[in-house]
Structure formats: C-alpha cells, structure tokens
Amino acid sequence: MNPGYLIFHPTLDMPLPALPALLARLAQTGLTGVPLKDAPNHFLAGEHLLQRLTFLGCSPNLPLVSDDTADDAVCTVQLLGPYPTPRLIGGSNSRPPRCHHCRHPYDNWRDHLSDIEQEVCCPRCGHRCAWHELNWRQMAGAGRLFITISQVFPGEAVPTAGLMETLQQTGEPWDYFYAQPPLRGIEEAVTDGDKEGGVSGQ
C-alpha cells in the first residue's frame, strides 16, 4: 500500500520548463531510474533518490526494486502533465485551505477545484487572491506539471537543497506538497490503485 506522494510542481506564474531537459536532469542526478513498461514518464526510483531526500524522524524505509516492474508497494517517480490548463491536485489528506492573512478556513474548497484561478475574497479580513494562492498547508498544490514520488508519508521527508536546484535549474521556482491516495484533481490514474481518484468525491 502506498502511504502517500511527495509531489513537486513549478509555481503557476512561471513558464513550464523544457520536458526533455528536465527528464534528463532527473535521470542524470539519480532521482529517476528504469522506465516502467507501458507507462509514459513513470520510473522506478533512481539510485540516488534516498540521498536527495532528508527523512525526518525514523530511518528511511522506501521500498525499492531493480527491475522494470512495479506495483503499489514500490517507490516510483512519475511526471504528470503538462496539462493545458492549471489544476489543483490534492489527496485524501487535503484539508480546507486558509487565508494567508487571518487564517480563515475555506470549508467549501471542494466546490472550487475546477476554477482555481478565480479570485476569492476572504469573508473575515477581505484579503483577495486566487483559489490556488490560498495557504493549502502543503496538502495540495496547483500547477500544469507535477512530479510525484510515491511511498512517502506526509511530512516524512523533505527535499534536499540539491534536489530543488535540479528542478529549478532553469530558474523557475518550484514548490512541493504531500498527498495521500486516492489523488484528486487528475483524470489519469497514477497507479492502478488510484483509479477511483477524481475531483468529485469525498
């Protein structure tokens, strides 16, 4: 069973990086390994993945394998997108986002997953921003391109500065968050176990 994904994405206000160069950097730096059969842009974890994450608390226990098959119990790295329009991806752990100024919680957030670029005005303090710019507390994130690492429990590991530099090599700022399956906000299933995921639902 997959306890969660650590998910990276370029911030929405920046142009997308060139995909071939990005995929090459991920492979060269050992983040991605063998490509999975019949799965585009989906890889086994690379040989240096564990060195590119800092595990908080107990020692890392990511299940890794060396051939080109993988199931829901193995750590994989997958690139999702680029999507034609921005989308918000979250998971079963996602909670109401908060106003950056007064921490007002937006309990109706699930009604707005399809219009994340629309402006919202805080009913408590009047602060205005787009839905995706609210404080999602690292439990959801918006973008057109995502890189997921499976088998990471929320908050269990943080990326090293070197990993963020690999992602940001051409200058775009990247961010990251943690989402537990089933993921919401993508049509494409991340793994066979996540096919129930969708914007609607819980």
Nearer to Zn ion, 48 or 100 (CB): 100
Applying the rule CB under 5 A, the residues between 96 and 125 that interact with Zn ion are 99, 101-102, 104, 122, 124-125
First to last CA, the chain: 20
Specify the residue, 95 or 101, whose C-beta has the smaller distance to Zn ion.
101
CB of 126 to Zn ion, least distance (A): 7
Q: Residue 92: what are its φ and ψ, rounded to 5°?
A: -65, -20
In angstroms, the Cα distances linking 104 to 94, 107, 120, 144 are 16, 9, 12, 27
Least Å from the CB of residue 120 to Zn ion:
10
Tell me how far CA of residue 170 lies from CA of 27, 53, 67, 142, 174, in angstroms: 16, 21, 32, 20, 11
Give me the least distance between CB of 123 and Zn ion, in Å please: 8
Specify whether the backbone of 3 is left (phi greater than 0), alpha (psi in -120 to 50) or beta: alpha
Residue 24 or 125 with smaller CB distance to Zn ion = 125
CB nearer to Zn ion: pick between 18 and 121:
121
Q: What minimum distance in Å lies between the beta carbon of 98 and Zn ion?
A: 8
36/122 with CB nearer Zn ion: 122
Which x/- pattern over 126-165 shows residues binding Zn ion (rule: CB under 5 A)? -x--------------------------------------
The per-type count for the chain, helices as H runs and strands as E runs, is 2, 12
Distance (Å, rounded) from C-alpha 15 to C-alpha 24?
19
In the complex, the residues that contact Zn ion under the rule CB under 5 A are 99, 101-102, 104, 122, 124-125, 127
